[in-house]
Structure 1
Amino acid sequence: MSKTFSFLLAALLAAGAQAQVITIDQNKALAGGVTPGDAPGFPVTISQPGSYRLTGNLNVPSHNYGAIQVTTEGGVTLDLGGFVVRGTRCSGTLCNIITPEVHGISGVNVRIHDGWIENFAGWGFYATLGGFRTVIERVFVANNGSGGIAASGYSLVQDSRITQNQGIGLTMLSGIVRGNVIAGNTQAQLRGSNGTVLVSGNTLLGPVPFDANGTAGPISMNDNVCAATYANGQRC
């Protein structure tokens, strides 16, 4: 792991450790006031940096809304606590609601870990601005209308499951993709662009395991399992 990324991760963890953990559940989401400017209902607005944790499932009652929107750029750690963040895009099977494009969780400079994000009309997670970092660890992202995860900056996605999304499974500018299962998404399973993506120990199954998007591809693609020996000219 690079020194730059190690510093990023340490800074995110330190920011969360310095503040009291703020809990979020369905009742708090409906009541509003989780942070200043958070209106009742969805999406929950996180306007202050710090550490947040789900204490129950979040069920968004309409495909017109996302679940959580991070508006601060100061660094947020969101522990999903093993719970599910669920939209209403479909009922049990894939469907193609893509407008309005609303995302399950969106924001910048976010670390999300340990839970599920599923069934939203847009992306499961969407980075709202480029140049910031995303850390996704041990998250199951499935059945979303535009794609699974759209990260930005120099990011880390590891030990996660990104499956059965319409569009791209995971797209990122640069960073590390390690130990994930990215499978059954309708377009590329993984897309890298504008930087180097280090890809190791993943299972990439489905149409186009890796798409370099016509720009800089990964400098390392090792010990992955793909449906084909090569993916867009890159060794799996």
Structure 2
Amino acid sequence: MRHPSLQQCATIILLAWQSLSLAAERVIPIDPARTDKPGFMVVIEAPGHYQLAGNLKVTDANTTAIEINADNVIIDLHGFAIQGATRCQQLPAPCWPLGTGNGIHAVNRSHVTVRNGIVQGMGNYGIYLESNSANLDHVVLSRNGHGGAVFFGGVISNSVAETNGGDGIFGVDLKVNRNIMRGNQLLGLAAHGQSSFSGNKLSANNGNAAQTNLKSAAAAGNTCNATACP
């Protein structure tokens, strides 16, 4: 029996690696017309890189746009928006209608990333990620009924939380870097545990009272109503 040469073995390994790489990089489109089950428009059940193919419109304040039931998931909004029916046009008056629907929701998951788009008008929160390694980048969270984003562990960067009906960003054990938080009904940033923030701009939150519960180091570069955060 003839055995393959070292070169042939190397070629087989390379082809297998390339196949795995292509599979890992494959983008799975999310059809905006998708309705997986009552109360949830899109349910993610497997790891992967998912990408919106258009604006995802949610007409009910109690419906969640994207529910994540898997680890190792990337949601690329691809410049599109998740659009709910809630309006917060006259803060500090309450947003209406309120509900239980979130833009993107995950509980007890790891390695979840959301990036590149807008989440607005949800009845509950724009994004709610209960994950030990969540990442939010280049996302606008606007006019969501109970708040912009809720994170339990993770990094939020290069994003905007504005005119939400609660805190702009709320969470535990967060790293919050280079974001804008403005015009939210409660705090711009409410963070607990081992949280840190740097390079953020907070303004007109909480009726122009305290902008955040965190104390800012002088070198962190955070501003509250255009002056250094205390």
Instruction: Tell whether the structures are fold-level matches, with TM greater than 0.5.
Output: yes
Q: Name stretches of at least 5 consecutive residues in structure 2 with no aligned partner.
A: 1-19
Cα separation, 1, equivalents of 2:22 and 2:223: 35
Deviation (angstroms), 1:200: 1.1
Aligned to 1:58: 56
Q: Is the 8 A contact 1:43 1:65 kept in 2?
A: yes
The amino acid of 2:86's aligned partner reads R
Aligned to 2:15: none
Aligned to 2:160: 161
Q: Is the 8 A contact 2:77 2:116 kept in 1?
A: yes
Deviation (angstroms), 1:230: 6.7
Question: Whose radius of gyration is greater, 1 or 2?
Answer: 2
Aligned to 1:5: none
Aligned to 1:121: 123
Q: Is the 8 A contact 1:16 1:76 kept in 2?
A: no
Aligned to 1:48: 46
Cα separation, 2, equivalents of 1:48 and 1:133: 17
Change over 3 Å in CA distance of 1:40–1:186 after alignment to 2: closer
Which segment drifts farther, 101-110 or 158-167?
101-110
Aligned to 2:182: 183
Which segment drifts farther, 18-27 or 219-228?
219-228
3-state SS in 1 of match to 2:152: coil
Q: Is the 8 A contact 2:89 2:95 kept in 1?
A: no
Cα separation, 1, equivalents of 2:39 and 2:62: 12
| TM-score normalised by length of structure 2 | 0.78
Per-residue CA distance 1:208-235 (angstroms, 9 max, x = gap): 21114xxxx677871111127575xxx3
Cα RMSD, aligned residues only: 2.7
Number of aligned positions between the proteins: 202
Q: Name stretches of at least 5 consecutive residues in structure 1 with no aligned partner.
A: 1-13, 33-38
3-state SS in 1 of match to 2:141: strand
Deviation (angstroms), 1:25: 2.2
Change over 3 Å in CA distance of 1:139–1:17 after alignment to 2: farther
Aligned to 2:3: none
Aligned to 2:72: 75
Identity %: 28
3-state SS in 2 of match to 1:18: helix
Change over 3 Å in CA distance of 1:221–1:187 after alignment to 2: farther
The amino acid of 1:60's aligned partner reads V
The amino acid of 1:225's aligned partner reads T
Deviation (angstroms), 1:192: 1.2
Q: Is the 8 A contact 2:126 2:142 kept in 1?
A: yes
The amino acid of 1:211's aligned partner reads N
Determine which of 26, 29, 53 is the counterpart of 1:23. Answer: 29
